[in-house]
Structure 1
Amino acid sequence: MLRMSLALFLVTGAGVASAAPLTADNAARLLVPHRAVYDLKLKNASDRSGIEGMFGRMVYEFTGSACTGFTTNFRLVTKINTGEDTRVSDQQTKTFEDLAAGKFHFETKSFTDEQLDKTVTGDASEGKDGVKVELGSAGGREVELPTSAFPTTHMLDIIEQAKQNKRIFETRVFDGSENGDQSLLTSTIIGKSETPEKGDADAAAAGDFAKAPYWPVTIAYFNDGATGDPTPVYNMSFKLYENGITRDLTMDYGDFSLTGSLVKLELLKKQQDPCPVVPQ
């Protein structure tokens, strides 16, 4: 599930789970390169959202390995109808996460009607006292943040919690979204394992993994400094397979929400330098 400003989507494909204990390293070694395509449509919108119609497409490409790091290329294009006019939003994001070194690089370009609105680039690294972010798009400005998980690490943590039958998981996440200068608190609810129902078209799009069991997962994101009973700035629900594939998305922004259906899943060729096997 990778939260990319307008949408969180951190999807990882993997092979069949092994009998080895699901440590973070073991889980990361299961991840395989892939490209997933999702069709988006408006689920609901409040009057104050100013949205009468919305649809789009999201493409997520994931490559790399546990020993060399993981690269994601993400693109989200939506067409929004306000009743008075329409506009096309196009967000393009590339990230690289080195799990072993605790480093994360991010680049995002946002366009409206083919005109560049904003560019955000930066590098983040884990330290003893938290996460240090250097924003290349802001003249090298540095930001110190509390200890936070990067996106792929966060997904691996969720998978591990699900495997251990733990239903609630809270942590702080940094993914470089928005202006790249803040992390968010997250609360994750993991449901019991389920099996796809017969005739589930979204499951069929998962190809070889169509009949695999999954966990229903919901993640709520909160800003720092919220008092009382805080309201999430964003919620995302999805079906998470044991192999890491994510489908059947619902992205709730408060004033409006979108659904995302998996329409194509392509497994990409693995790189030629696989990680050395670690004895169990």
Structure 2
Amino acid sequence: MLRKGVICALLLGPAALLAGSAHSAGSDRAGSPPPLTAYRAVYNLSLARSGEGGTLASVRGRIAFDFSGTACDGYVENFQQVTELQPAEGPLRLSDLRSRTFEGGDGKDFRFEIESRLDNEPMEKLGGKANKSAGVALAIDLAKPAPRRAELPGEALFPAEHLRKILRAALAQEKIVEARVYDGSDDGFRLLDTTTIIGKPVIGAVAEKAAQIESLSKMRRWPVSISYFDVKGKDAPPLYVMSFDLYENGVSRALNLDYGDFSLAGEMTELSLLPTPAGCDR
């Protein structure tokens, strides 16, 4: 029998991280990465590891997303993760997570809409916005499934800010980054503590044909691993760990999603670098 927690873990997904990676190549002047790259990418998912109990016999799925925007106008991200899980016992299970987000170029506002389906049955839609302003660390206004408001204390980064912080650390040859992150997941009021480990930079050939393009061939990339924790349980194991290669321009490849009971590999199969609007010098 496939535990409910396994399915719920998949619905956490790497949406926020990929959204951040797409627009993490912002315009920080000192030691900044190259200019922002807008792109579309597709990753095929497969089972990399199953737990000791052999909970899963096989997994297949796909992550697809596209990103557009500038530091002046803000950034738009569309994301979808569809995953078929075949348990060792029982019927096939299907999860489908879709999200649409907007993050202001100044990192002060974030809007999100999240839809999920389990075995083709829709779950509650989640939507709202979050803002940071003087005197209020993070104000969240939820519109779906019902209007709710909360003000959360403490500093929290939105996804783009988080990835910018990681890229700045990589360029400064730092190895560890700790940050609290808000991405609209779970019930819309959840904060996550993160610990990022950054490896040594690499330049050169990669396995995926989709990533074998001239603009990436001479660009530095770093092996990165980000562990996500509940803010109330930092001493507990992470909720999930996402590992990948991160290029200076924000493109991610060689995904690995570790949910504890199992892990998934994400192979990049499509990559399209898109034109970026001119006229923004931020």
1:243 CA displacement: 1.8
Are the structure 2 counterparts of residues 35 and 164 from structure 1 closer, same or farther at C-alpha, using a change threshold of 3 Å?
same
1:70 and 2:67 are equivalent in the alignment: no
What is the match of residue 3 of structure 2? none
Q: Select the residue among 38, 55, 59 that pairs with 1:54.
A: 59
Q: Could you tell me how far apart the structure 2 residues matched to 1:77 and 1:137 are?
A: 22
Q: CA deviation at 1:251?
A: 0.6
Cα displacement (A) at 1:50: 3.0
CA distance in 1, matches of 2:273, 2:122: 31
Aligned ranges for residues 173-252 of structure 1 at < 5 Å?
Answer: 173-197=181-205, 200-202=206-208, 205-208=211-214, 209-226=216-233, 229-252=235-258
Cα distance in 2 for residues equivalent to 1:212 and 1:4: 32
Q: 1:52 to 1:205 in 2, by over 3 A?
A: same
> CA 1:143/1:20 → structure 2, altered by over 3 Å: closer, same or farther?
closer
Q: Does 1:147 align with 2:145?
A: no
Which of 112, 120, 125 matches 1:114? 120
Q: Does the 8 A contact of 1:202 with 1:262 survive in 2?
A: yes
1:255 aligns with 2:265: no
SS in 2 for 1:136: strand
Q: Which runs of 5+ in 1 are unaligned?
A: none
| Matching of residue 21 in structure 1 with residue 30 in structure 2 | yes
Q: Identity percentage over the alignment?
A: 35
Given the alignment, which residue of 96, 100, 117 partners 2:106? 100
What's the counterpart of residue 88 of structure 1? 94
Q: How many residues are paired up?
A: 266
Is 1:124–1:132's contact at 8 Å kept on the other side of the alignment? yes
TM-score (norm 2): 0.86
Matches of 1:86 and 1:147, distance apart in 2? 41
Question: TM-score with structure 1 length normalisation?
Answer: 0.86
Tell me how far apart the structure 2 counterparts of residues 101 and 155 of structure 1 sit (CA, whole Å). 12
Question: Using the alignment, how far apart are the partners of 1:55 and 1:174 within structure 2?
Answer: 28
Q: CA deviation at 1:52?
A: 1.6
Structure 2 unaligned regions, length at least 5: 1-9
CA displacement at 1:108 relative to structure 2: 0.6
